[in-house]
Structure 1
Amino acid sequence: MGRQAEHVYTDQPTIARFNGMVEHLQNGARVRLHLADGSTCDGVVAARPTVQEFYDGGGNEGSNGVVHLEQLGTSEWKRYIWFDQIERIEHLDSDAQLRA
């Protein structure tokens, strides 16, 4: 993953929200991500994500993150979702949920 992101954030509430999401995106967790566009994406967290520094198209530096999802039983399906696109995290392997 490069150092470019479509959107970066510098405000503390958004960065705190991203850090809270990391706690719910543990390696191996089965999750359904409810996205800002109204769609959902189910998968297994392939590696625990982190909040990182990126640059947007205007050269502004700020924070964002990416979660890498895979599907059980296949290595051919994978998806990368930016933190700022996640509205809610639903855990499929427990009752815990997080509204991002």
Structure 2
Amino acid sequence: METVQQFFDTFVQAWQQADLVFLVGFGTLFLLIWFLPSLLALAFNRQHAGKIALLNVPAGFSWIAWVALIVWAVTGKLSDKLAEKARLKPVV
């Protein structure tokens, strides 16, 4: 238990000594990682980008849901491509 308390004390001391540049940089990096599924959905121009962005906030508390959103954001149009292939008629 003392090891956990020492770790906590060291963590609190490090945050108290952090300067503004570090805190802004850490906050920016944290938000970029948290909203990575939404950013990927926007970059790949997914039709469900709004739903992904809405679900991104609570999904950030669960790694499983967050990873699922990343998969959804990256592979969103794969089903569209497969559906287009299925509609193609064979050449006779």
TM-score (normalised: structure 1)? 0.24
Larger % of helix: which? 2
Larger % of strand: which? 1
Larger RCO (CA within 8 A; separation ≥ 6): 1
